[in-house]
Structure 1
Amino acid sequence: MKFSFAHNNLNVTDLDKSLRFYEEALGLKAARTKEASDGSFILAFLTDGVTPHQLELTWLRDWEKDSYDLGDNEFHLAFAVDDMEAAHAKHREMGCICFENEAMGIYFIADPDGYWIEIIPA
């Protein structure tokens, strides 16, 4: 028996805003979407176009709060980038850098729902 990663899920409060963010900040594009027949949810599976791993964004129609409780936000996604300087400049321009660790040569960005994404050199 062998397991392999398929996707990670993040719930989002505004799917369109999140789709725009992930495309602008990380170049991710929706590979496919699925909408419940009753309209209660929409799933968007994002791809980097390189790896088979996907990021699933889930929008729930009946979610009544304007945010999700992310706890201490110790969980995160990590993306390797081939040009840290250009990535850092882009994310600084977007205003989404939320933490930098210069000693380690990494930084984090926050998506519209506050999820942290680690940016590391390739």
Structure 2
Amino acid sequence: MGNDGVPFEIELTWNRGRVEPYENGGKDTHIAFVVDDFDAAHELHEKMGCIIRENPRMALYFIADPEGQWIEILPAR
């Protein structure tokens, strides 16, 4: 979801078949950033040792902040 007033979007996800309650702040709840140079960002995060999950098929990966909150990194398309 988004609007014409700001360049930000919010995505709501429904995990079909999930029966257990969602835990607020769990891995389903995270922020994401689109980066202009995905390869350079990946290289930096790899050097920092903060990449916690990668999905090359979907061209994205996750890093964790110091408190363990997941942050999704996506290439500009």
| TM-score of Structure 1 vs Structure 2, range by shorter chain | 0.5 to 0.7
Retained in 2: the 8 A contact 1:70–1:115?
Answer: no
- Which of 1 and 2 has greater Rg? 1
- Identical residues among aligned pairs (%): 53
- Equivalent in the alignment of 1:95: 49
Segments of structure 1 that go 5 or more residues without pairing to the other structure are 6-50, 53-68
CA distance in 2, matches of 1:120, 1:110: 14
TM-score (normalised: structure 2): 0.66
TM-score (normalised: structure 1): 0.42
Letter of the aligned partner of 2:26 in structure 1? Answer: D
Could you report, residue by residue, the CA deviation over 1:46-86 in whole angstroms, capped at 9, with x for unpaired residues? xxxxx68xxxxxxxxxxxxxxxx976321010000011100
CA 1:84–1:99 in 2, change beyond 3 Å: closer, same or farther? same
CA distance in 1, matches of 2:70, 2:48: 15
- Equivalent in the alignment of 2:64: 110
CA distance in 2, matches of 1:76, 1:114: 11
Aligned length: 59
Matches within 5 A, 1:14-29: none
Instruction: Tell me which protein shows more strand as a share of its residues.
Output: 1
Matches within 5 A, 1:30-69: none
Segments of structure 2 that go 5 or more residues without pairing to the other structure are 9-22
CA distance in 2, matches of 1:114, 1:70: 14
1:72 to 26, 43, 64: 26
Q: Does 1:86 align with 2:56?
A: no
Aligned alpha-carbon RMSD (Å): 2.5
